[in-house]
C-alpha cells in the first residue's frame, strides 16, 4: 500500500516509517522538520537520519503543503501525526497549537473533500489529554470525573483529586474510550477538536477512520530538548549529566508509559484491520509515578539520581492517567511488548552516548516561560 504519514520524521512517525518500510509498503512523508524536534542541524538529526532511504520525503508544512492534494489522490492510507505536542507550552502558545492541530487537520480534510481519492482509511493520532483527569472512584459517589484541581489546594500541597460532591480524595481507575471528555489544557482541547473534525468530515464523505488516543509515548529518539514532552528522556539525560531532577508536586502523580515501537505496531494492526470508525486507547494499562521512574533510573545506573521533590506545579497538568486497553486488545489483538524497564534501559543508553547539547538550559528556559505567564508555581 501507499501510506502517507504527516509528521513522519517526528518521534512516533520515525518508528512507524521504519516498520512500514520493513513490511515493504510505499511510504510518503510530509514534515516541516520543526527545530524544537530536529534541532538547528535538521538534516542531521537522529530522527531525520532514521527515515533516510525509507520514504519519499516532502519538507512541507501541512498548513500550506503544495504537494498535499496530489499526494492524497494517489494514497491508500493517511496517518496524521503532525501536531504541536505538550501541555505546558500549549497554555501560553495558544494560537500556534490551535493553528497547527486544528487548522492543519482541517486543511487535510478539506483536500479529501475536494480531491478525487480512493482512500481506504484516515488514521488520526489523538491523545489521552482529551479525557482531562479521566475516571476516578469516590467512596461515596462511585465513578466520577473530577473537575480541575483547586489551585488553593495545590498551593497547600494537596495534589490528589477530590470529589466535587463530598470533597473526599478519589481513587484513580483506568479510563476507557467511553469516559467523559474533559480536556484540561489547550493541547487537549486542540486534540479533541481534531477528533471532531475527522468524525464529521470522514463520516460524511464515507471515508473510514480510526482515532488513537495515545498515552505517554517514550523511546529512543524522543527529543529530550523539548522540555514539554518526554519526561523519561529528560530525566534520563539529567541523570547522565549528574544534574538534580526537579520533581513537580509530590512525585506521586502517575502516567501510563508506552514504548513508541508498541504504538507503531498498534497503528499497523489497524492498517491491516477491517475495523472502521473506531476510537482506541493506546497504552499499557499500567500506571507509574515519577518516583517510580527515578527509582528505575537508579537501578539501571546503580546510582540513584539526585532529585528534589519541589512541590512546584504547572497549570493544566493532570494528576493520574492510565488506560483501559481492553477494546484495542479485543478488536485488534494489540498487546504491548516492551516493558517499562527494558524501554528505559534503551533510552538511557541512547542519551548517554549522544554527543549533543545539555538538556538543562532548555529545561530551565521552559520553567522560566511558565513563570513569566503565571503558569508555574513554586511551593
Residues with a catalytic annotation lie at 187
Report whether 170 contacts 136 (CB < 8 A): yes
Closest CA to 176 of 245, 291, 256: 256
Those residues with Cβ within 8 angstroms of residue 116's Cβ, 6 or more apart along the chain or in another chain: 73
**Whole-angstrom Cα distance, residue 364 to residue 376?**
12
Those residues with Cβ within 8 angstroms of residue 146's Cβ, 6 or more apart along the chain or in another chain: 133, 136, 161, 162, 163, 164, 170
**Whole-angstrom Cα distance, residue 375 to residue 92?**
8
Report whether 130 contacts 191 (CB < 8 A): yes
Give buried/exposed letters for 262-296 (b at 16+ CB in 10 A, else e): bbbbbbbbbbeeeeeebbbbbbbbbbbbbbbbbeb
**Whole-angstrom Cα distance, residue 121 to residue 198?**
11
Report whether 92 contacts 181 (CB < 8 A): no
Amino acid at each position: 500500500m501507499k501510506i502517507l504519514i504527516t509528521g513522519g520524521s517526528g518521534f512516533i512517525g520515525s518508528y512507524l516509517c521504519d516498520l512500514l518500510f520493513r513490511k515493504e509498503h510505499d511510504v510518503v512523508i510530509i514534515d516541516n522538520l520543526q527545530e524544537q524536534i530536529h534541532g538547528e542541524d535538521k538534516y542531521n538529526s537522529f530522527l531525520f537520519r532514521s527515515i533516510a532511504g525509507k520514504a519519499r520525503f516532502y519538507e512541507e508544512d501541512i498548513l500550506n503543503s503544495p504537494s498535499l492534494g496530489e499526494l492524497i489522490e494517489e494514497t491508500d492510507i493517511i496517518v496524521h501525526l503532525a501536531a504541536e505536542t505538550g501541555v505546558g507550552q500549549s497554555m501560553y502558545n495558544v494560537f500556534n497549537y490551535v493553528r497547527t492541530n486544528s487548522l492543519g487537520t482541517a486543511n487535510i480534510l478539506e483536500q479529501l473533500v475536494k480531491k478525487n481519492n480512493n482512500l481506504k482509511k484516515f488514521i488520526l493520532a489523538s491523545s489521552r489529554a482529551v479525557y482531562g483527569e479521566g475516571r476516578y472512584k469516590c467512596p461515596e459517589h462511585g465513578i466520577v470525573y473530577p473537575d480541575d484541581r483547586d489551585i488553593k489546594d495545590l498551593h497547600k500541597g494537596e495534589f490528589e483529586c477530590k470529589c466535587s460532591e463530598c470533597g473526599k480524595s478519589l481513587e484513580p481507575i483506568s479510563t476507557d474510550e467511553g469516559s467523559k471528555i474533559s480536556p484540561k489544557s489547550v493541547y487537549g482541547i486542540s486534540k479533541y477538536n481534531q477528533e471532531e473534525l475527522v468524525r464529521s468530515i470522514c463520516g460524511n464523505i464515507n471515508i473510514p477512520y480510526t482515532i488513537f488516543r495515545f498515552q505517554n509515548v517514550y523511546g529512543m529518539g524522543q527529543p529530550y530538548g523539548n522540555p514539554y514532552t518526554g519526561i523519561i528522556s529528560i530525566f534520563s539525560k539529567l541523570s547522565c549529566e549528574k544534574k538534580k531532577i526537579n520533581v513537580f508536586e509530590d512525585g506521586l502523580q502517575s502516567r501510563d508509559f508506552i514504548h513508541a515501537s508498541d504504538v507503531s505496531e498498534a497503528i499497523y494492526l489497524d492498517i491491516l484491520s477491517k475495523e472502521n470508525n473506531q476510537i482506541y486507547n493506546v497504552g499499557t494499562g499500567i500506571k507509574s509515578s515519577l518516583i517510580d521512574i527515578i527509582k528505575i533510573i537508579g537501578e539501571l545506573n546503580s546510582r540513584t539520581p539526585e532529585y528534589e521533590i519541589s512541590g512546584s506545579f504547572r497549570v493544566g497538568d493532570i494528576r493520574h492517567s492510565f488506560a483501559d486497553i481492553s477494546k484495542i486488545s479485543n478488536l485488534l489483538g494489540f498487546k504491548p511488548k516492551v516493558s517499562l524497564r527494558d524501554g528505559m534501559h534503551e533510552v538511557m543508553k541512547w542519551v548517554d552516548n549522544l554527543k549533543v547539547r545539555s538538556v538543562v538550559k532548555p529545561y530551565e528556559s521552559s520553567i522560566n516561560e511558565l513563570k513569566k505567564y503565571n503558569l508555574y508555581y513554586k511551593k
